[in-house]
Amino acid sequence: MLDLDRLPRHEVRRLRQVAARHPDPEEAFRELAERRLAGEPLQYLEGTAAFGPLELEVDRRVLIPRPETERLYELVVELVTDPGVVVDLGTGSGALALALKHRFGSARVVATDISPDALEVASANAERLGLEVEFRQGDLFSALPADLAGRVGLLVSNPPYVAESEWESLPADVRREPRVALVAGPRGTEVLARIARGAADWLRPGGLMACEIGETQGQEALELFGAALSDVRVAQDLTGRDRYLLAWKS
């Protein structure tokens, strides 16, 4: 017997909507509910996640886009009018890159990821949405074409920022998502530090670096990015926690 009382009503309703698309809705619902009760994220079961103006397809190959990252997108479009060139480091499902291409249609948007599986998902999303984004496999800046150095008007990233010691304390459904997209290393700021060291080489004068960070990492992020960029500040998410590093190249 399925213990559906363990699932919120809205999740049961959404699973039934997914199951209704199958030839045998009741059997499909039972399978989906069992997977959800076992800890599989709801968005993977639905196959989609909303992000800003877009609906993205997601599966276990990519991190599920979150409201915190959607707020990063909102902050950026409030601060930037004509970026010219946009780079998204660690694009995952393509959420930031695709939403920014949707907003800045004339911009050249380049997105990188170390995972070929993630890039498959991102590329499929771009094709389905009819948005032209250049996807490149590689580790952060190493995947970028050399001609972009000093020309990027907007550099965004939602990098891994979880410390290795924090992994086991994450919710069970979060631990079903790709570990490489969440865990940065022993401290949690290792990837942020690498982005900070390279950002100034790629940004144009006046260009903006906008990066999601962990809620306890604000002061360290200020120090990391302040060494190379100017007007460095930390912004809060909708719950009032430090969540975003914003920095401009003078």
Summarised one tens digit per residue, pLDDT across range 26-78 is: 999 999 999 999 989 999 999 999 999 999 999 999 999 999 999 999 999 99
pTM value is: 0.93
Residues 123-159: tens digit of each pLDDT: 999 999 999 999 999 999 999 999 999 999 999 999 9
Neighbours of 227 (CB within 10 A): 11
DSSP-assigned beta bridge partners for residue 55 = 50
CB 159 within 8 A of CB 180: no
Q: How far apart are CA 54 and CA 230, in angstroms?
A: 32
Decide: 242 and 68 in contact? Cβ < 8 Å.
no
How much is the pLDDT for 1? 66
C-beta atoms surrounding 127 within 10 Å: 11
Count other C-beta atoms under 10 Å from residue 243's C-beta: 23
pLDDT of residue 165: 96
- Going along the chain from its start, the domains and CATH numbers come out as 4-38 (no CATH), 52-248 (3.40.50.150)
Question: Cβ distance 58 to 64 under 8 Å?
Answer: yes
230's tokens: 């100017």
CB 200, CB 228: distance < 8 Å: yes
Q: List the Cα angle 189/187/136 in 5-degree steps.
A: 40
Residues 6+ apart with CB under 8 A from 143: 112, 113, 136, 137
**Mean pLDDT in residue range 181-209:** 97
In this prediction, residue 6 has a pLDDT band, given cuts at 50, 70 and 90, of: confident
Q: At what angle do helices 67-79 and 95-103 cross, to 10 degrees?
A: 30
CA 163 to CA 186: how far, in whole Å? 5
Cβ(43)–Cβ(110) under 8 Å? Answer: no
Structure tokens at 131: 């948005």
User: In this structure, are residues 107 and 86 in contact, taking their beta carbons and an 8 Å threshold?
Assistant: yes
**Residue 228's pLDDT band (cuts 50, 70, 90):** confident
pLDDT at 2 over 80: no
